[in-house]
């Protein structure tokens, strides 16, 4: 397929889907040939709306060219202007740096760091082949930002982080914006944080996302534990106590009631809507992810790419999980609560009550939440919110300022 036509189709589709909203982001996508950043890939694949893994370490993807939809969403959240100085952490193929360089123009500056020297060398070749010369590529651990290029009007991570590192805040210009995929109780959210004069970062743009996670000094702990030989992995929030997969395996081997739940849920509700609500309001939240085709919960997990999964509540002696109550449907479908172990019924009650509260709150999704990040040691007035997540370098305050605009029939 002709690359120009493929690119034009990709950009048209991103606009129609509302991912591209501004003329500046549209112009950048039209102007930078993505296929030159993915050499060796068929043109049609380079312009498909999919992430493309470009490096694996022990079978796990450690670098990828991100999905164009997600890149467009984040570029809109970033709000770049001509003349901005930008730091990207996670240069990868160099494609996003090239898009940003086009938007900030010759009066701006883009510095892109990647922890992997080989990737940086390859990104330099890609940028040269696309005739993009304004990007300063650096092999470095982005946990420390990159002081020589600062202060920055914008810092963007295209790799997931568990925390907000002090170096990133310190290297922001006054009023600057830090955009990052941040782990928030097991969900990953793309949050655009504006630095205020009081040192507090406020965010009114939250989107759901799924990025490869940081390596190096600020590497995330792997939150997945495989549960016995059930073919299921248990994922708990990064700020939750260490899970006991053996205990969960014993409980899952003790199925009890299965209760139909009122209302209908889609996959998006499970990860982005109700799943996020549950994570922010219930301490015992976890996710159960299928890692092998034959699992303890064979037919009723929600489809998640090639795997199945769901959200659940756990305690020492019980699990209650939201499951499908019928074959998977493209939109919202009927659901049930499956209970396991002696405490399963009590957890099931809590899960059903949480479902009611989420519906009453307008079926809030990621975009409805407002987050405030207070860096540790900030001499700011005491701020609080209904949900507070304490991390090593900051506190994240989460609130729902108004009923969700995405409210719909249960
Ligand atoms: C999803 S890819 C980024 C895609 C890239 N923005 C593009 O346009 O192709 C994430 C990248 O983050 C890099 N990375 C992981 N940990 C890092 C760290 N501590 N510092 C800098 N880069 C890191 C990985 O090597 C990987 O290339």
Q: What is the pLDDT of residues 255-269, one digit of tens each?
A: 999 999 988 988 888
Confidence at residue 408, expressed as pLDDT on a 0 to 100 scale: 36
3-state secondary structure of 176: strand
**Is CATH 3.40.50.150 the right assignment for the domain spanning 50-213?**
yes
Tell me the percentage of the chain whose pLDDT exceeds 70. 94
From 114, 157, 210, give the residue whose CB has the most ligand 1 atoms within 8 Å, as the site to mutate: 114
Mean pLDDT for the stretch of residues 39-50: 96
Per-residue pLDDT of 178-221, as tens digits, reads 999 999 998 899 999 999 999 999 998 999 998 999 999 999 77
Mean pLDDT for the stretch of residues 137-158: 98
Q: What is the CA radius of gyration of the chain?
A: 22
Per-residue pLDDT of 19-31, as tens digits, reads 999 999 999 999 9
Q: How many residues does the chain have?
A: 410
**Could you tell me whether strands 285-290 and 307-315 are parallel, antiparallel, or unpaired per DSSP bridges?**
antiparallel
Q: Rounded to the nearest whole angstrom, what is the distance from the C-alpha of residue 159 to the centroid of ligand 1? A: 5
Instruction: Work out the burial of residue 260: count CB atoms within 10 Å of its CB; fewer than 13 is exposed, 13-18 middle, 19 or more buried.
Output: exposed
Kindly report the pTM of this predicted structure. Answer: 0.92
Rounded Cα–Cα distance for residues 227 and 248 (Å): 7
Confidence at residue 307, expressed as pLDDT on a 0 to 100 scale: 75
Rounded Cα–Cα distance for residues 394 and 375 (Å): 4
Per-residue pLDDT of 80-121, as tens digits, reads 999 999 999 999 999 999 999 999 999 999 999 999 999 999
Q: Rounded to the nearest whole angstrom, what is the distance from the C-alpha of residue 236 to the centroid of ligand 1? A: 24
pLDDT of 139 above 70: yes
Q: Rounded to the nearest whole angstrom, what is the distance from the C-alpha of residue 16 to the centroid of ligand 1? A: 28
Confidence at residue 407, expressed as pLDDT on a 0 to 100 scale: 40
The overall average pLDDT reported for the chain is 91
């Amino acid at each position: 397929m002709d690359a120009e036509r493929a690119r034009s189709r990709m950009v048209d589709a991103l606009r129609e889907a509302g991912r591209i909203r501004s003329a500046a982001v549209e112009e950048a996508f039209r102007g930078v040939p993505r296929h030159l950043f993915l050499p060796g890939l068929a043109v049609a694949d380079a312009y498909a709306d999919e992430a493309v893994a470009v490096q694996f370490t022990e079978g796990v993807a450690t670098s990828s060219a991100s999905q164009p939809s997600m890149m467009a969403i984040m570029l809109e959240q970033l709000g770049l202007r001509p003349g901005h100085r930008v730091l990207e952490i996670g240069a990868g193929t160099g494609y996003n740096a090239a898009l940003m360089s086009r938007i900030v123009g010759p009066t701006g500056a883009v510095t892109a760091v990647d922890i992997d020297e080989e990737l940086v060398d390859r990104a330099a070749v890609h940028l040269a082949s696309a005739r993009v010369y304004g990007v300063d590529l650096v092999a470095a651990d982005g946990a420390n930002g990159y002081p020589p290029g600062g202060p920055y009007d914008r810092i963007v991570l295209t790799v997931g982080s568990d925390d907000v590192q002090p170096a990133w805040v310190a290297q922001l210009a006054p009023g600057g914006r830090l955009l990052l995929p941040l782990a928030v109780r097991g969900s990953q959210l793309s949050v655009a944080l504006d630095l205020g004069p009081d040192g507090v970062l406020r965010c009114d743009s939250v989107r759901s996302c799924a990025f490869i996670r940081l390596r190096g000094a600020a590497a995330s702990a792997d939150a997945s534990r495989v549960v016995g030989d059930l073919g299921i992995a248990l994922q708990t929030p990064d700020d939750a106590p260490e899970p006991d997969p053996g205990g969960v395996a014993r409980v899952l081997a003790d199925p009890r009631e299965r209760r139909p739940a009122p209302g209908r849920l889609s996959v998006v509700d499970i990860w982005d809507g109700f799943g996020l609500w549950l994570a922010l309001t219930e301490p015992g939240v976890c996710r159960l992810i299928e890692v092998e085709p034959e699992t303890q919960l064979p037919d009723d997990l929600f489809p998640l790419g090639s795997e199945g999964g769901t959200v659940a509540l756990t305690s020492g002696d019980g699990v209650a999980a939201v499951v499908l109550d019928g074959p998977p449907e493209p939109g919202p479908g009927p659901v049930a609560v499956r209970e396991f172990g002696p405490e399963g019924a009590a957890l099931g009650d809590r899960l059903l009550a949480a479902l009611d509260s989420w519906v009453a709150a307008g079926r809030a999704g990621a975009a409805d939440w407002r987050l405030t990040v207070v860096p540790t040691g900030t001499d700011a007035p005491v701020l609080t919110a209904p949900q507070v997540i304490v991390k090593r370098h900051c506190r994240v305050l989460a609130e729902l300022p108004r009923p969700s605009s995405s409210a719909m029939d249960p």
